[in-house]
């Protein structure tokens, strides 16, 4: 497969799972910009129905720290041949930035705090837009070379939420009401829980220690007792 809908030139397969396949493509109709294109498996009806109703709304959610959703449509032509089986696809903003999980260990305290502030900004924006991110984790956060945070696009996160599909890292950050599918209880507090877990993950060596309320900070020599007490209180209130 080299060309989709006479518009998207396929560069490479990025990821493939039970529900979809994601490609890096070039948009020939938009100045050869790179985008992510995701093809959905035909039997993934719940996702397709959800996107038919909601995808346009997701395209309107725009924030500098969030990868954008662009288009949801039906594949008409592949490599110049009309497609016989109905198959849907979506496109989203491209990034080649590293996921936070791969780079956070070498970051100085100042940069880690800047990351947390950017995440607070985008979560506040989403909550004011009536959205809960639900799957905030180091594998769903990208960090550019300029230390700019980019959260994975909303449509991909919604897909993972509907399919209860998350990796072994993300499950440590997801609020209990999401893991146990208590959808009626899922609200802004779910993201606050994940944010608290992320702060512990970035700033301390205590992430995998259970029932901790006072944390072992990685950069403790750069912090005073008042700052340590404040962060302890913030994390304990969030989680």
The beta strand positions in the chain, using DSSP E, are: 3-4, 8-16, 20-27, 33-40, 69-74, 77-78, 81-82, 88-93, 98-99, 141-143, 149-151
Identify the pLDDT of residue 185: 77
- Taking only the tens place, the pLDDT of each residue in 142-166 is 999 999 999 999 999 999 999 888 8
Identify the pLDDT of residue 1: 83
- Count of residues in the chain: 239
Q: What is the CATH number of the domain that holds 112?
A: 1.10.510.10
Q: Are residues 174 and 73 in the same domain?
A: no
Q: Are residues 186 and 226 in the same domain?
A: yes
- Could you tell me the pLDDT band of residue 167, with boundaries at 50, 70 and 90? confident
Q: Do the beta carbons of residue 132 and residue 187 sit within 8 Å?
A: yes
Q: Are residues 53 and 145 in the same domain?
A: no
Q: Among residues of the chain, what percentage have pLDDT more than 90?
A: 82
The beta strand positions in 59-137, using DSSP E, are: 69-74, 77-78, 81-82, 88-93, 98-99
Q: Are residues 86 and 124 in the same domain?
A: no
Q: Are residues 172 and 135 in the same domain?
A: yes
- Could you tell me the pLDDT band of residue 106, with boundaries at 50, 70 and 90? confident
Identify the pLDDT of residue 213: 84
Per-residue pLDDT for 180 more than 80? yes
- Taking only the tens place, the pLDDT of each residue in 183-236 is 777 899 999 999 999 999 999 998 988 888 889 999 999 999 999 999 999 999
Q: Are residues 151 and 225 in the same domain?
A: yes
What is the rounded CA–CA span in Å between residue 186 and residue 111?
30
Could you list the residue range(s) of the whole structural domain that residue 32 is in?
3-93
- Mean pLDDT, residues 62-66 taken together: 98
């Amino acid at each position: 497969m080299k060309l989709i809908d006479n518009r998207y030139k396929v560069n490479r397969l990025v990821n493939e799972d039970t529900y979809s396949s994601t490609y890096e493509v070039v948009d020939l109709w938009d100045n050869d910009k790179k985008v992510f294109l995701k093809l959905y498996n035909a039997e993934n009806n719940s996702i397709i129905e959800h996107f038919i109703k909601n995808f346009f709304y997701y395209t309107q959610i725009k924030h500098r720290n969030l990868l954008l959703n662009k288009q949801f449509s039906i594949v008409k032509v592949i490599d110049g041949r009309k497609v016989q089986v109905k198959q849907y696809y979506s496109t989203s903003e491209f990034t080649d930035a590293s996921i936070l999980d791969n780079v956070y260990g070498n970051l100085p305290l100042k940069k880690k705090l800047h990351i947390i502030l950017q995440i607070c900004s985008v979560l506040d924006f989403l909550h004011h837009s009536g959205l809960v991110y639900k799957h905030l984790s180091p594998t769903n956060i990208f960090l550019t070379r300029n230390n700019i945070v980019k959260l994975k696009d909303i449509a991909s996160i919604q897909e993972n939420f509907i399919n209860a599909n998350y990796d072994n890292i993300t499950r440590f950050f997801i609020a209990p009401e999401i893991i146990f599918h208590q959808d009626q209880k899922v609200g802004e507090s779910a993201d606050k829980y994940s944010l608290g877990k992320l702060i512990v993950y970035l700033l301390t060596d205590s992430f995998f220690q259970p029932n901790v309320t006072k944390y072992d900070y990685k950069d403790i020599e750069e912090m005073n007792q008042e700052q340590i007490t404040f962060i302890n209180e913030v994390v304990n209130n969030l989680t």
